[in-house]
Structures are given as structure tokens and as C-alpha cells.
Amino acid sequence: MINPTLPLVDLHRHLDGNIAPKTVWELAQLHNITLPAESLEQFAPMAQIQGQTSDLMAFLTKLDYGVSVLADYDSVYRVARENVFDALDQGLDYVELRFSPYYMAKTHNLDPQKVVEVVIDATQTASKETGVETNLIGILSRTFGVEACTIELNALLAHKEHLVALDLAGDEISFPAQLFVNHFKQARDAGLQITVHAGEADGPISIWNAINLLGATRIGHGVAATQDPKLMAYLATNNIAIESCPTSNYQTATINDIRKHPLKQFLDAGITVCLNTDDPAISNITLAHEYDLVKNILGLTNQEIEQVQKNGVEAAFMDAQQRQRLYAKVAARD
């Protein structure tokens, strides 16, 4: 079970995939946006995954409801702020919220750079209000193509001092890492760390390319790594962390049987694997749910679960000051 003497962290959590159905519904009413339901009760199950989708891209369509109601910057502020308060409600001590400004802006033609500015303002303010330590990761949404990602990158780099990392997410198969080498070089040159969605919809080569071409030191999902023993050894030897999201991996059909999720294989191989929620509002889960899952379904021991929890703290993109505050907060709680 979760060890209360250690910080509880979530490193792979999409801000734009964690917009509560109630918030989507209320913003739709505010902006006169039509949703395919006559009440919140009807809408909520439509906005969340029911069982398993056919693939990753089908899963991602559920996120479209949330961004469809971001009609102004006040709405962007609200959902960003609510993400931090949601982390507080779920007992998190530290959270890395990743978001795609282009994706959040595109439906209502908002300015992606202004979206970044508003998300930063909202999360920083909410972090002070709640005491939850937060960091932001910018996403390039590869699904929209290289040109859109260039616009997105420029918006993110304009506020680079308030971000800790850059991520690549979306259609992993149609838009491989090779297309974004220059984008990620710019990000690294700007001082950002790199985490990449890889090995979720595509095979081990996607993970190798995330590391060798883009400079990733953390991999989102990474399920396909188990197909390549050399890659497993490389991840362990080079301390490249895996941001594991079991429920999401089942819902996207990345795995067909939750009992066969590779998290324990990663742990046994000495890989720094941590536990995360991915899109908690879409998946209708909490991080506590994921810890219950790895104990009761995957059969991890309390010692193994504690190691996973420690791995999250170790892999976090936080500076020394933030890490010190985090441990001081947990010590004061005890």
C-alpha cells in the first residue's frame, strides 16, 4: 500500500485529459456549446472510458470533449486550477502536469502562447493555495503534424523558464520521432528535460528513437520495451525511467489483459518504473486506485510498491529546492 512517510507523486498526468465531466458540462452551458446529451448524468459516461477502446487514437477522442469547451482564457484558467485542487483532493504531494497548448487552443482559435501563460499563472497560484508542489511539461501533439508542433514549440519556449520538460504525444505510429529531431534539439538547448510517449502504440524502435534521436531520459508508457531484452537492459543501466500507467494501457488496448501489465517486469529488471494516472478524469481513476491495482491485480509486495513510490520521487523533474520542500512537507506531516 501507499507509504505515508514518502511523498506521493504523479509524473504522467495530462492536464487536458483531466477535465472533470461536471466542468465540461458547466463550461458548455456557459458558452452555449452543444454536447451530445441532455444532462450531466447522461454526459458523464460519454466523456469517460467504459471498459476498453479499440486503440490509442480511439481513447484520445474522449479528450476532445474537454478542449471543445475552452472557449476563452478564463476557461483555460479554470481547468488548470482545478487540476491542482484535484491533486490535493487525491492526496498528492507533487504532480507534473503536462499539456498541449495547440490542442487546447485550436477549437476556439485561442493563442497557444497565451494558453501557456494562463496555465502557468493558474497552476502557480493554485500550488501556493494548496501546498501541492507542481511542475509543468509542455507537449508537442504530433497528431497535428510537424508545422503545428513548430507553432506549439515556439509557444512553449516563450515561457521556458516556467516549464521543466518537453513531451511528444499523440499518434505515435503515423508521426515518428524522426520528424521532430530539430524540435527536441531546440528544447534541450533551452534547458528543458525530455520525456516522450513511446512504446505505447508502436514497438521497441519507438523507444530507442525517443532516446537516441530526441534525448529522452524518461519514457511515457514504454510497454513495448519488454519485447527487446537489450532495450530493457539499456533502460536499467542508463536510469531511463518508465512512467507506467496500467489502467490507461488497458483502456487504450495497449495491453489486452490488465493482469499481464509489464510494470513488475520493469521493476524486476531494475528499471526505474513509477506509477501514474495518465488521464484520470477520462479513465475515471485516482492514483490510489492504481496503487490498489498493482497490489491486488499485479501482485506487487508492499516492499515493491514502496520502491515504485520511491522511483517516482527519484525520477521527478524537480530541482533541489523543490525536493527539499517536498521532503520537509512529508516530515512535518509525520
In a domain, 3, yes or no: no
Closest CA to 144 of 224, 67, 255: 67
Closest CA to 106 of 156, 56, 152: 152
Strands of the 9-14 sheet, one edge to the other: 9-14, 94-99, 133-141, 165-169, 193-198, 218-221, 241-244, 273-275
In a domain, 142, yes or no: yes
Spatial contact of 139 and 168, defined as CB atoms under 8 Å apart:
yes
Looking at residue 231, what is its pLDDT? 98
| Total domains, the chain | 1
The per-residue pLDDT for range 103-112, each reduced to its tens digit, is 999 999 999 9
Catalytic residue among 96, 200, 243, 290: 200
| pTM listed for this prediction | 0.97
Indicate if 129 belongs to the active site. Answer: no
Q: Which is it for strands 218-221 and 94-99: parallel, antiparallel or unpaired?
A: unpaired
CATH code for the domain of 326: 3.20.20.140
Closest CA to 316 of 23, 69, 7: 7
Spatial contact of 137 and 162, defined as CB atoms under 8 Å apart:
no
In a domain, 2, yes or no: no
- Residue 304 lies in domain: 9-333
The per-residue pLDDT for range 35-55, each reduced to its tens digit, is 999 999 999 999 999 888 888
The per-residue pLDDT for range 267-314, each reduced to its tens digit, is 999 999 999 999 999 999 999 999 999 999 999 999 999 999 999 999
In a domain, 1, yes or no: no
In a domain, 279, yes or no: yes
